[in-house]
Structure 1
Amino acid sequence: MIETLQGHIEEVKKFTADTPEAVEAFRIKYLGKKGLLNDFFAEFKNVPNDQKKEFGQTINTLKTAAQEKVTALKESLNGAEELKGVYGDLSRPGEPIELGSRHPISIVKNKIVSIFSRIGFNVSEGPEIEDDWHNFTALNLPEYHPARDMQDTFFVQTNPDVLLRTHTSTVQVRYMENNKPPIRTISPGRVYRNEAISARSHCFFHQVEGLYVDKGVSFADLKQTLQYFTTELFGKSKIRLRPSYFPFTEPSAEVDVYWGLETETDYKMTKGTGWLEIMGCGMVDPNVLENCGIDSTEYSGFAFGMGIDRIALLLHQIPDIRMLSENDLRFLEQFKSAD
């Protein structure tokens, strides 16, 4: 009888199954109410006393082997079924993969950074929450200076000396404080002003400001740099500089590029003139250099700043600046093929 049990143990060990039905038939054969194990346990009383111990141990070995085999086969078949559910028919065409897209602000910013990097400008960044010194005072805008009214500011209520930066010139101040000339850097980033939201303006927007400080820097260097930039970005070389006022540059100018009047958006953006103001610029005021620890008798420099949002509207013919911050997928998906 013991030899019979050992034969079944070997049979159990060698058994394999490809379907749940075969596993269930195997389980019933050995572990069912009318299975072989019940027959062997019923035979236990007829076994001679000197063989009962070995017989009982062999039955338990057979039962354990059968249970483990059933469990292993079920897990194997369930795993194969789950894998099939995940991957399905591998011969079928794959599901289309949705491509992401860059935001138009990022597209334009990257283009601007690339253009200036080709003429030696590096990229510098700074905090969006600033103090009064870096945002105003160091830039020749001391307390109570009337020019502060040009920028409606978000101040932190608990600390009147802390505010959301109104321009990325704050980054230029920090850069000049920590680096010696020659300095050639651009500072892209988000800025905040307490302005009414409309199709042409927003309470937050994006800027890129540039700074070049070295010996013998002149206004002619500034003009040629801006001429190069507008030609590279817009493919249009016709620009004009109009006298203007900024507290941190002297002399100062507004830069316009001639865009033309080919579309309705062109009329709206240029107010029917064909000229679009894209940035302000000027020679860095000596007071600003001195505030940042740079000798204004030895060094001079120029600075410029432009709004990325307005340029994005122009390049991509977007009629409303609010579309840039609404996160509408129907709008953003149009830029999937953009660089």
Structure 2
Amino acid sequence: MIDKIKGYIAEAEAFTTQNKEELEAFRIKYLGKKGILNDFFAEFKNVAKEQKKEFGQVVNNLKKTAEEKVATLQEAMESKEETKGIYGDLTRPGEPFTVGSRHPISVIKNQIIDIFANIGFNVSEGPEIEDDWHNFTALNLPEYHPARDMQDTFFIQTNPDVLLRTHTSSVQVRYMEDNKPPIRTISPGRVFRNEAISARSHCIFHQIEGLYVDENVSFADLKQTLLYFTKEMFGKSKIRLRPSYFPFTEPSAEIDIYWGLKTETDYRITKGTGWLEIGGCGMVDPNVLKNCGIDETKYNGFAFGMGVERIAMLQYQIGDIRMFYENDVRFLEQFKSSI
């Protein structure tokens, strides 16, 4: 009888299944009311006195083995069901990851920064909320100067001396206050002007302005710097500088590149002339240097500025500046291959 029970123990230890019905049949066979264990317990009274101890130990061992086997297999099945419920069918192909991309404004801005970094320009940044001194007065635009009307400004209502910067020239003022010549820096950033929003203009846009201050800087240095930039950025080797007016530079000029007239788009964006304006420039007014604590009798320099959106619209043939700010995923996904 004891050998028979040991055989059942070995059978229970070897049993395995992943089927609930088979496991339930195993439980009933060993642990049910009419199972093997109940039969052995009922037989206990008929066992010889000298074998009762060993018989009882073997039967308890069979009971323990059967209960542990049922518990172990049930836990394994429940764990498998839980995993499947959370993750689904793990044998199915996974969903592809959505790859993002840089915004076209960031792409163009980084390209411009890299171009000027190759000729020694560092990057300087400043606050978007400015004071009147850094945004206007230090740049040769004293209070009530008529040229202030060239830039419709967002003023802070509770403090008329605080405003949203209208250009990144304010960053150049801060940089000149904290650094001594030679200075060679570009200032990229977001600027704000109180203008009507249309396909060609926006109240928020991005600028990159450059500044070079040293001894014996000439207008020829400015032209060669801009020519280098247009070759690297657009592949264009023909530029012209048209006389213009900016309060903080003298003389001042508009920067045009010869875009050409090869396509209908070229005719449209250049209005049939082949020339396209990309920014403004000039020699830094001595008053600006003096306001920033630089000896204007020893040093001079040049400055230039351009709109990032305008260049992005040219490079990607985008006809509406508002598209940059609408966060339309269909528009942004077109730039996934951009750097």
Flag whether TM exceeds 0.5 (same fold).
Answer: yes
- 1:317-332 residue pairs with structure 2 within 5 A? 317-332=317-332
From the superposition, tell whether residues 86 and 70 of structure 1 become closer, same or farther in structure 2 (CA, over 3 Å): closer
| Partners of 1:64 and 1:4 in 2: CA distance | 19
From the superposition, tell whether residues 67 and 242 of structure 1 become closer, same or farther in structure 2 (CA, over 3 Å): same
| Counterpart AA for 2:201 | S
Deviation (angstroms), 1:169? 1.3
**Residue range with higher mean Cα deviation, 153-162 or 17-26:** 17-26
SS at match of 1:177: helix
Deviation (angstroms), 1:323? 1.7
From the superposition, tell whether residues 184 and 14 of structure 1 become closer, same or farther in structure 2 (CA, over 3 Å): farther
Deviation (angstroms), 1:156? 2.2
| Counterpart AA for 1:250 | E
From the superposition, tell whether residues 172 and 5 of structure 1 become closer, same or farther in structure 2 (CA, over 3 Å): farther
1:216-262 CA-partner distances (Å, limit 9, x unpaired) = 21111101100111111111111111111111112111111111233
| Alignment length (residue pairs) | 336
TM-score by structure 2 length?
A: 0.85
Q: Are the aligned partners of 1:282 and 1:302 in contact in 2 as well (CA < 8 Å)?
A: yes
Q: Are the aligned partners of 1:29 and 1:35 in contact in 2 as well (CA < 8 Å)?
A: yes
SS at match of 1:324: helix
From the superposition, tell whether residues 223 and 63 of structure 1 become closer, same or farther in structure 2 (CA, over 3 Å): same
**Residue range with higher mean Cα deviation, 101-110 or 312-321:** 101-110
- Equivalent position to 2:76, from 68, 73, 78: 73
Q: Are the aligned partners of 1:20 and 1:77 in contact in 2 as well (CA < 8 Å)?
A: no
Aligned to 1:219: 219
From the superposition, tell whether residues 43 and 266 of structure 1 become closer, same or farther in structure 2 (CA, over 3 Å): farther
SS at match of 2:17: coil
| Counterpart AA for 2:297 | T
SS at match of 2:153: coil
Aligned to 1:146: 146
Q: Which runs of 5+ in 1 are unaligned?
A: none
SS at match of 1:206: strand
Q: Are the aligned partners of 1:5 and 1:62 in contact in 2 as well (CA < 8 Å)?
A: no
- The answer to whether the aligner puts 1:281 opposite 2:313 as a matched pair is no
- Give % identity: 71
Q: Which runs of 5+ in 2 are unaligned?
A: none
| Partners of 1:86 and 1:293 in 2: CA distance | 71
Aligned to 1:137: 137
| Partners of 2:272 and 2:263 in 1: CA distance | 11
| Counterpart AA for 2:192 | Y
- The answer to whether the aligner puts 1:61 opposite 2:64 as a matched pair is yes
| Partners of 1:31 and 1:192 in 2: CA distance | 81
Aligned to 1:196: 196
- 1:167-316 residue pairs with structure 2 within 5 A? 167-316=167-316
Larger Rg: 2
TM-score by structure 1 length?
A: 0.85
From the superposition, tell whether residues 20 and 246 of structure 1 become closer, same or farther in structure 2 (CA, over 3 Å): farther
SS at match of 1:293: coil
SS at match of 1:69: helix
| Counterpart AA for 1:163 | L
| Partners of 1:5 and 1:179 in 2: CA distance | 95
From the superposition, tell whether residues 49 and 14 of structure 1 become closer, same or farther in structure 2 (CA, over 3 Å): closer
Q: Are the aligned partners of 2:2 and 2:55 in contact in 1 as well (CA < 8 Å)?
A: no
| Partners of 1:113 and 1:106 in 2: CA distance | 10
From the superposition, tell whether residues 12 and 82 of structure 1 become closer, same or farther in structure 2 (CA, over 3 Å): farther
| Partners of 1:311 and 1:14 in 2: CA distance | 76
**Residue range with higher mean Cα deviation, 4-13 or 187-196:** 4-13
From the superposition, tell whether residues 283 and 62 of structure 1 become closer, same or farther in structure 2 (CA, over 3 Å): same
From the superposition, tell whether residues 49 and 221 of structure 1 become closer, same or farther in structure 2 (CA, over 3 Å): same
Deviation (angstroms), 1:147? 1.5
From the superposition, tell whether residues 253 and 59 of structure 1 become closer, same or farther in structure 2 (CA, over 3 Å): same
Deviation (angstroms), 1:210? 0.7
Q: Are the aligned partners of 1:260 and 1:275 in contact in 2 as well (CA < 8 Å)?
A: yes
Deviation (angstroms), 1:20? 4.3
**Residue range with higher mean Cα deviation, 49-58 or 272-281:** 49-58
1:160-214 CA-partner distances (Å, limit 9, x unpaired) = 2222211111221222222222211111111111101111111111111111111
Deviation (angstroms), 1:58? 5.0
| Partners of 1:203 and 1:38 in 2: CA distance | 88
**Residue range with higher mean Cα deviation, 112-121 or 294-303:** 294-303
Q: What CA RMSD, in Å, does the superposition of the two structures yield over aligned residues? A: 3.2
| Counterpart AA for 1:288 | V
From the superposition, tell whether residues 53 and 273 of structure 1 become closer, same or farther in structure 2 (CA, over 3 Å): same
From the superposition, tell whether residues 10 and 201 of structure 1 become closer, same or farther in structure 2 (CA, over 3 Å): same
- Equivalent position to 2:91, from 88, 91, 100: 88
